[in-house]
Amino acid sequence: MAKADTSTVTVIGLGAMGGQLARAFLVKGADVTVWNRSPQRAATFAEMGARIAASAADAVKASDLTVMCVLSCQAADEILAAPGVIPALGGRTLVQLSAGHDQEIRRQYARVEQAGGRMLAGGIVAYPFLIGESTTTILYSGSEPAFEEHRETLALLAGAQRFLGSDPARFGATFHALFAYYHAAYAGYLEGLALATAQGVALEDFSALIPGMDVMLSHHIPDAALRIRDAEYGGEQASIDTHIGGISVMLQLARDHGVQMHVMDAFIEYCRAAHDAGEGGQDIAAIYKRMVAGEKGGGTHQAG
Ligand SMILES: NC(=O)c1ccc[n+]([C@@H]2O[C@H](COP(=O)([O-])OP(=O)(O)OC[C@H]3O[C@@H](n4cnc5c(N)ncnc54)[C@H](OP(=O)(O)O)[C@@H]3O)[C@@H](O)[C@H]2O)c1
C-alpha cells in the first residue's frame, strides 16, 4: 500500500483504543513508532512493522506527531513527567486523546506550549472497531496550525474529523453532550428489550424493529432542533400530555412484570414537570425547557 504523504507518527498507549489507532496507521501505510507502559503489548505491533521505542521520550523524538491515548489525563501526566518527554515535545505536536477534565487538558496544553510544542486534544466518538472508517468522527481543539499540518495523517483514523476551536478543552463541550444522546438511546433500547422479553417477545424480533425507530428519530430530532431554536412548541403532532398517557402505560407494564426502567422514569418526570408548568398541550420538544432551567422545573430556553 502507498504511504500517506504525512506518514510518520508515534502512538503512545496500546490499549483497546490506542492499539487500534496504531493498527489503523499501520494498515494505511504510515511509518509508526509505538510505546506502551507495559512493553509486552508492543510485540504484536512490531510484527505489523512498527518500531518499538525504548522510552516515552524516544517515542516522541521519533516523529513530529505523537498521538497519546492512555486511560486518563492523570496517566498521560505520568508519561509527560518521565525524563525527557516534555523537552522532546519542543517543535513537535502532541495529540492528546486520553479522557480528561477541561482543567487537566488546559494544564497539559500550557506545559507543551511552554516547551515550544503544540498540542491538540480530542474526543473519539467511536468504539475501536470503527477507527479508520470514513464516517468515524474525532473532535479536536487546540492548536489550529497543528491541526492543519497534520490533518491528513489524523484523517487516517477518522474520515469525519472536526476541528472545534483553539481552546484545547473546547471539543469536550460537544463530545460529552453527544454521549448523553448515545447513552440514553442505548439505555432506551435495553429497557425496551427488558420489557419486551419479560412479556415473551423474542430478542431478535424486538431488535429487528429498532431501525424503524431510528428512522422516526432521524425525522424527529431535526424537528425538535427547529422548534427549540424558534421557541415554537405547538403540540399538533403529539402533546406532552399524550406522551404522559403512553409512557404511564409502559411504566405500569414494567411494574407488572418486575422490569426496571429508570431512564423512562426520568423521562416521564420531565414530562410531568412540563405538565405542572401548564405546558401539557405543547410538543414533546418543550420538555427541553425543563432541562436548561438549571433548577427543577423552572425557566425557559432563550432562543438564538
Ligand atoms: N475503548 C473505547 O471505546 C474508547 C472510546 C473513546 C475514547 N476512549 C478513550 O481512550 C483512552 C484509552 O482507552 P482504552 O479503551 O484504550 O483503555 P485500555 O484498554 O484500558 O488501555 C489503557 C491504556 O492506558 C495505559 N495506562 C494506564 N495507566 C497508565 C499510566 N499510569 N501510565 C502509563 N500508561 C498507562 C495502559 O498501559 P498498560 O498496558 O501498561 O496498562 C494502556 O495502554 C481512554 O481515555 C478512553 O476514555 C476509549
DSSP 135-169: T-EEEEEE-HHHHHHHHHHHTTT-TT-EE--SSTT
- Cross-strand bridge partners of residue 9: 32
Residue 285's Cα: distance from chain center in Å? 24
* Claim: this prediction has a pTM higher than 0.85: yes
Assign 92 to helix, strand or coil. coil
Assign 260 to helix, strand or coil. coil
Q: Are 136 and 112 in contact (CB under 8 A)?
A: no
Nearest to 275 by CA among 242, 241, 249: 241
pLDDT of residue 301: 38
Residue 70's Cα: distance from chain center in Å? 15
Q: Give the pairing of strands 118-125 and 137-142.
A: antiparallel
Instruction: Quickly count: other Cβ atoms within 10 Å of residue 78's Cβ.
Output: 14
Q: For a ligand 1 pocket test, name from 10, 70, 96, 179 the mutation site with the most ligand atoms within 8 angstroms of its C-beta.
A: 70
Protein residue with its CA nearest to atom 42 in ligand 1: 15
**Ligand 1 geometric centre to CA of 247 (Å):** 39
Q: Are 103 and 168 in contact (CB under 8 A)?
A: no
Instruction: Quickly count: other Cβ atoms within 10 Å of residue 276's Cβ.
Output: 11
Atom of ligand 1 nearest to the CA of 128: 3
pLDDT of residue 294: 59
Is any ligand 1 atom within 6 A of the Cβ of residue 75?
yes
Is any ligand 1 atom within 6 A of the Cβ of residue 71?
yes
pLDDT of residue 300: 43
pLDDT of residue 298: 44
Span 234-260, pLDDT tens digits: 978 899 999 999 999 999 999 999 999
Atom of ligand 1 nearest to the CA of 18: 16
Strands, sheet with 118-125, edge to edge from the N-terminal-most edge strand: 51-52, 31-35, 8-12, 65-68, 93-96, 118-125, 137-142, 162-163
Assign 188 to helix, strand or coil. helix
The three grid cell numbers given for residue 224, joined into one nine-digit string = 425538535
Q: Are 239 and 283 in contact (CB under 8 A)?
A: yes
Q: Which residue ranges in the chain fall short of pLDDT 50?
A: 1-5, 295, 297-304
Which is it for the CA torsion 109, 111, 114, 116, positive or negative? Answer: negative
C-alpha 158/C-alpha 17 separation (Å) is 13
**Ligand 1 geometric centre to CA of 100 (Å):** 12
Is any ligand 1 atom within 6 A of the Cβ of residue 78?
yes
pLDDT of residue 237: 86
Q: Are 21 and 67 in contact (CB under 8 A)?
A: yes
Nearest to 58 by CA among 73, 75, 74, 42: 42
Instruction: Quickly count: other Cβ atoms within 10 Å of residue 230's Cβ.
Output: 10
pLDDT of residue 252: 98
Atom of ligand 1 nearest to the CA of 98: 45
Instruction: Quickly count: other Cβ atoms within 10 Å of residue 240's Cβ.
Output: 25
What dihedral angle (degrees, nearest 10) is formed by the CA atoms of 124, 267, 250, 215?
-40
The three grid cell numbers given for residue 166, joined into one nine-digit string = 483553539
